[in-house]
Structure 1
Amino acid sequence: MKNSIAERVCDFLKIYPPFDLIKFKKLLEIAEEVVIVYLEKGDTLFKADQPANEYFYIVRAGAISLFHTENDTQELVTINDTGDIFGVRPLIARENYKLTATANEETIIYALPIKNFQSATENNAKVYKYLITAFATNAYDSYTTEENNAIFKDYLPNTSQDIVNFQTANYTKTPITCAKTSTLQEAANLMCTHKIGCIIVVDNKKPVGIITNSDIKNKIATGKFPITTAVTNIMSSPVITAKKDLTVADGQLKMIKNSIGHLCITKDGTVNSRLIGVLTHHDVLVTLGNTPSVILKEIKRANRTKKLRIARLKANTLLKSYLEQNIPLTHIINVISEINDAVTIRAIEIALKKMPTEPPVAFSWLALGSQGRREQLLFTDQDNALVFEDVPEDKYEETQAYFLQLAKYVTKSLNKIGFEYCEADMMAVNPEWCKSISKWKTQFQNWILSPDDKAILLSSIFFDYSGVYGNEKLVDTLSESIFEALGGSSLFYKFLGSEAIKSPTPLGIFKQFLVEQNGEQKDLFNIKSRGLMPLIDAARLLVLSNQIKNVNNTYERYEKMAEIDPNNKELYESCAYAFKALSKFKTKQGLLHNNSGKFIKLETLTKEEKLKLKRCFKPIHDIQETLKLRFDLKNFI
Structure 2
Amino acid sequence: MSTLSVNIAEFLKEYPPFNHLNSDELIEVSSNIGVLNLEKNKTLFTVNDKLHDSFYVVASGVVNLSFIVDAEETLLNKCYVGDIFGLRPFFAKNNYMMTAKAREDSVIYAIPIRVFKPFVSQNPSVLDFLLESFASNTKNSFDRENKTKLITDTVYTDHTSNEIQFFQNLSYHRTPLKIEITSTAKDVAQLMTDNLVNSAIIIQQNNPIGIVTDTDFRSKIATGRIPLSSSIEKIMSSPVVCVNESVSVAEAQLLLLKYNISHLCVTVDGSDKSDVKGVVSEHDLIVAQSNNPGVIIKEIKKALTPKDLKLVREKLTDLIQTSISKNIPLTHVYNISGEIIFAINKRAIELAILDLGSPPSRFAWLSIGSQGRKEQLLLTDQDSILVFEDVAADKYRDVKDYFIKLSKRTTAILEKVGFMTCPNGHMASNMSWCKSLSDWIKQYNSWMKTPGEQSNEISSIFFDYEIVFGENKIEDSLTETIFNNVKNNNLFFDYLGNDALRKNPPLNFFKKFNLEEEGENKGKFDIKNKGIMPLVDAARLFILSMQIKGVNNTYLRFKQLSITDPKYSEIYLSCAEAFLVLSKIRTLEGLKNDSTGQFISIEELSKSDKEKLKNALAPIRDLEELIKDRFQLTQFS
- Structures share fold, TM-score greater than 0.5: yes
Aligned partners of 1:16, 1:129: CA distance in 2, in Å?
25
Aligned partners of 2:193, 2:155: CA distance in 1, in Å?
44
* Equivalent residue number for residue 583 of structure 1: 583
* Equivalent residue number for residue 108 of structure 2: none
* Equivalent residue number for residue 16 of structure 1: 46
* Equivalent residue number for residue 465 of structure 2: 465
* Equivalent residue number for residue 449 of structure 2: 449
Residue 434 (structure 1) aligned with residue 464 (structure 2): no
Aligned partners of 2:455, 2:629: CA distance in 1, in Å?
23
> Does the aligned pair in 1 maintain the 2:180–2:204 contact within 8 Å?
yes
Question: 1:423 deviation in Å?
Answer: 1.7
Residue 147 (structure 1) aligned with residue 134 (structure 2): no
Question: 1:202 deviation in Å?
Answer: 5.2
- Partner-residue secondary structure (3-state), 1:387: strand
Residues 1:353 and 1:331: Cα distance change in structure 2 (over 3 Å) = same
Residues 1:15 and 1:395: Cα distance change in structure 2 (over 3 Å) = farther
Aligned partners of 2:192, 2:516: CA distance in 1, in Å?
54
- 5 Å-filtered alignment, 1:19-34, equals none
> Does the aligned pair in 1 maintain the 2:372–2:466 contact within 8 Å?
yes
Residues 1:414 and 1:183: Cα distance change in structure 2 (over 3 Å) = same
Question: 1:280 deviation in Å?
Answer: 2.6
- 5 Å-filtered alignment, 1:544-563, equals 544-563=544-563
Superposed CA RMSD in Å reads 5.0
- 5 Å-filtered alignment, 1:272-421, equals 278-281=279-282, 283-285=284-286, 287-356=288-357, 358-421=358-421
> Does the aligned pair in 1 maintain the 2:53–2:113 contact within 8 Å?
no
Residues 1:512 and 1:239: Cα distance change in structure 2 (over 3 Å) = same
Question: 1:167 deviation in Å?
Answer: 6.2
Question: 1:194 deviation in Å?
Answer: 11
Aligned partners of 1:595, 1:378: CA distance in 2, in Å?
8
Aligned partners of 1:489, 1:166: CA distance in 2, in Å?
46
> Does the aligned pair in 1 maintain the 2:310–2:416 contact within 8 Å?
yes
- Partner-residue secondary structure (3-state), 2:334: helix
> Does the aligned pair in 2 maintain the 1:14–1:20 contact within 8 Å?
no
Deviations 1:587-632 (A, max 9, x none): 1111000111111112222111110000011111110111112222
Letter in 2 for 1:317: D
- Partner-residue secondary structure (3-state), 2:618: helix
Aligned partners of 1:170, 1:607: CA distance in 2, in Å?
35
Aligned partners of 2:630, 2:454: CA distance in 1, in Å?
24
- 5 Å-filtered alignment, 1:565-584, equals 565-584=565-584
**What are the ranges of 5 or more consecutive residues in structure 2 without an aligned counterpart?**
1-36, 58-67, 74-87, 95-110, 121-128, 138-150
Question: 1:430 deviation in Å?
Answer: 1.3
> Does the aligned pair in 1 maintain the 2:170–2:247 contact within 8 Å?
yes
Letter in 2 for 1:524: K
Residues 1:530 and 1:268: Cα distance change in structure 2 (over 3 Å) = closer
> Does the aligned pair in 1 maintain the 2:161–2:336 contact within 8 Å?
no
> Does the aligned pair in 1 maintain the 2:210–2:237 contact within 8 Å?
yes
- 5 Å-filtered alignment, 1:40-189, equals 147=156, 151-152=160-161, 155=163, 166=167, 178-183=179-184
- 5 Å-filtered alignment, 1:246-261, equals 248-249=249-250, 251-252=252-253, 255=256, 261=262
Residues 1:457 and 1:584: Cα distance change in structure 2 (over 3 Å) = farther
> Does the aligned pair in 2 maintain the 1:447–1:459 contact within 8 Å?
no
* Equivalent residue number for residue 629 of structure 1: 629
> Does the aligned pair in 2 maintain the 1:13–1:20 contact within 8 Å?
no
> Does the aligned pair in 2 maintain the 1:13–1:19 contact within 8 Å?
no
> Does the aligned pair in 2 maintain the 1:263–1:280 contact within 8 Å?
yes
Point out the more displaced range, 314-323 or 261-270.
261-270
Aligned partners of 1:269, 1:246: CA distance in 2, in Å?
9
Question: 1:381 deviation in Å?
Answer: 0.7
Aligned partners of 1:22, 1:458: CA distance in 2, in Å?
60
Question: 1:193 deviation in Å?
Answer: 13
Aligned partners of 1:330, 1:132: CA distance in 2, in Å?
15
Question: 1:351 deviation in Å?
Answer: 1.6
Residue 502 (structure 1) aligned with residue 502 (structure 2): yes
Deviations 1:191-222 (A, max 9, x none): 8999986432257999664235898999999x
Point out the more displaced range, 627-636 or 431-440.
627-636
> Does the aligned pair in 2 maintain the 1:516–1:523 contact within 8 Å?
yes
Question: 1:485 deviation in Å?
Answer: 2.1
Question: 1:130 deviation in Å?
Answer: 12
Residues 1:18 and 1:132: Cα distance change in structure 2 (over 3 Å) = farther
* Equivalent residue number for residue 490 of structure 2: 490
Aligned partners of 2:421, 2:247: CA distance in 1, in Å?
43
Deviations 1:118-146 (A, max 9, x none): x9755599999999999xxxxxxx99956
Residues 1:420 and 1:14: Cα distance change in structure 2 (over 3 Å) = same
Aligned partners of 2:158, 2:463: CA distance in 1, in Å?
32
- Partner-residue secondary structure (3-state), 1:307: helix
Q: What TM-score comes out, normalization by structure 1 length?
A: 0.71
Letter in 2 for 1:345: K
Count matched residues: 538
* Equivalent residue number for residue 476 of structure 2: 476
Deviations 1:283-330 (A, max 9, x none): 535643443233222212222221111111101100011101101111
- Partner-residue secondary structure (3-state), 1:279: strand
> Does the aligned pair in 2 maintain the 1:121–1:127 contact within 8 Å?
no
